[in-house]
Structure 1
Amino acid sequence: MEQRANHDVLTGLPNRRFFIESLEKRVMRCQRYGDNTALLFLDVDDLKVINDTYGHAAGDFLLINLADILKDNIRSCDMVARIGGDEFALLLDNLDADQVERKILALIDRIKTANLVYRGEAILIGAAIGYSFVGPTDTVAALMSRADEAMYQSKKDGA
């Protein structure tokens, strides 16, 4: 019952509710102890087009495989969650801005080069990623808003 309440049924990742609870704890820890945590938002490009072209099973296939890619490319101290239909969030601890940028570029490269074949058709994945670091007076809402704005700016810039 707890698994269902805290995890996404499709991907098995933590869900939005569980993620926000975890984020609240991390923000408090960062502010109390001066730890460094980055919040990343990742939005899949053109999931609707994939669903419309190949069917929802193909979209689900893509999301499951993307979840696996993300899980396989973060450390055990980090967290990845599915927080919406085509949106994922990651918490990365104790990385500076340069390390986060490298992690983002590596993730995007891994996502774009994933060899996903659904019923004989290659499915190409694109994604936009934005991030924000926990600040000394941040609320969870402010942190999420900055990461969301950065993700949409990344999407707009085509990065």
Structure 2
Amino acid sequence: MQLEIRPDPAEVGRARSWARSRLAGSGIGSDDPLAETLILLVSELVTNAVVHTGRPAVLRLSLPRVVAESATVRLEVADHSDRAPVPRCVDGDQTGGRGLALVDGLADRWGWSPEGNGKRIWCELDRCEDSGERATICVGDASAYEGLAFEVV
């Protein structure tokens, strides 16, 4: 499944809506922690493509055919810029620059690779069995994120 993204900031909202509908169609509800995290990752990666390249991009979402207690969801954004994504260190007063830090903190895996005249940035979320009734997002090594704080404003 893929969505063509125009180089317009309004496309970020359209990308979130598209991803929500794909998730719902695969049986992953909007209140599922996997869906909530994936929508945030869609926002960050599509925003980066729109803001930093000023060129069209393609959003791809790979969902499991059957939603099971354990599954991996893959999100990719391909753009037409050959500039590598670079995580930045920003101070508390800056309004941007935290997108890749969020991706790094929330995704189980992420990376990028050159593709034609541009690049593909991808991330994956694992859904694993929980001891309760709902599946949750797996966290490989939670200690790797101790001391990090993310604030939603």
TM-score scaled by structure 1?
Answer: 0.32
Q: Name the structure where helix makes up a greater proportion of residues.
A: 1
**Structure holding more strand per residue:** 2
